Each structure stands twice: as C-alpha cells, then as structure tokens.
Amino acid sequence: MKKKDACISELYSLSHTAAEPYLKELEYPWEALSGIKSWILEIGRTLPEDDWLHPAEDVWIHKTANVFPSAYVKGPCIIGAGTEVRHCAFIRGSALIGENCVVGNSTELKNVILFDNVQVPHYNYVGDSILGYKAHMGAGSITSNVKSDKKLVSVHFEDGDCPTGIKKFGAMIGDNVEIGCGSVLNPGSVVGKETSVYPLSSVRKALDAGCIYKNQNELTLRSE
C-alpha cells in the first residue's frame, strides 16, 4: 500500500459511523486517536434520552443494545443500536461502538472507533485502533498498540515510512476486512478494505485493499 491509499476516504465508508463529522475533517485515520475521548463526550451529551440509557457517568447505551450484566463498561463510551456486548467484555474507556456490532466474551476495548456491524466476538484486544464497516476479527486476534522498544510508531508504506508522532497506535482496519484467528496486528498496521489476513499472521505494514495476506512475503490479489 502507498501512503495515499491509507487516507480515511480510501479505507472507510463514513456513513456507517457516528464519528463521520469528526473523521471527515482529518486525512489519515491515526490522526483521530488523540481526539476519540473528546468526540464521544461531545456527541454523547446530545443523544436523546428517549432512545438512550445513561447508566453511568459518560456512558450511553442505546435501548436496543444488549449488554450482559457481567460486562464492564467505563466511560466515555457509546454503544449503538442493536449491538451486543457479551459475557465479561472489558470496555475500559474512550470506545465509540457503532450499530449492530458484537463485542464478545473477554474482549477488551480501549480508545477505539468501531464502525457499524463490526465483530470482535472472541478473546480480542483492540486498543488505539479504528475498525471499518463490517470488519471482523477472528478468535484471539489482537491489535498490539505499543512497540517493544517504546519508540514512536511509523507506518511502513511501499513509498517509504510515515512517522506518526504517537506512541500508542494499534491498527487501522478498513471496511469488510477479515482478520484470521490468532493473528497479531503490530503497532502501525493498516489493512485496506476488502482484504483478508490468514490465521496466525503477524502484520507489520500497510496492506493493499482487496488482497489476501498469507505471510510477510506473500500477498495475493483476490482476482488471481
């Protein structure tokens, strides 16, 4: 993937998130990470009481969402219509979860935007990341959001590295992406829309849209 292909307009259909007004003002998705908390607070306070529950400080849950009693939800957080948050999910703040999503058992979320119809259903960790419309993470797949050397994160593109200036950066996952079970998306990963990542993969760069990623040396176009 080249840097131009990692623009928000290339990765995401903004009509499928309440963050559309926020994201459309930015060029690259990682630029949004620092403002997720503030944006949730801004729109949360405008949500109509007839449709939304407000069970805790800075937490808004749509009345049609199903949040299991054993789930932990800390604000600021918005959980959209029709979304299911299952047994022992751990949402520890700054999470904007869209409509008809699945946040599964023992899944942990932190500083994220999940577009509508995202599924993170089994033992996933998603931190400092944005997941596009209908993105799915297989069981046990995670976003690693801090480098082992604790240095600032750069994104590795075909046309050169792009320094982000931030320390915590998980993954930017486009619309309709499939992440295979047990995979690790290393800090600064970008996955183009309609791409599939094989199970047990370790992703360390920006992947083109419409591809199948098998390992670091094998990237196959779906048409081949």
Give the active site residue among 16, 62, 87, 122: 122
Nearest to 28 by CA among 116, 155, 152, 199: 155
* The residue to which tokens 């290339």 are assigned: 10
Cα separation, 175 vs 191, whole angstroms: 9
Alpha helices in the chain (DSSP H): 8-11, 20-23, 36-44
Q: Contact, 157 vs 164, CB < 8 A?
A: no
Residue 114: which residues within 8 A CB-CB, separation 6 or more? 95, 96, 97, 98, 101, 103, 120, 126, 131
Residue 87 annotated as catalytic? no
Residue 166: which residues within 8 A CB-CB, separation 6 or more? 30, 33, 34, 152, 153
Active-site amino acid positions: 122
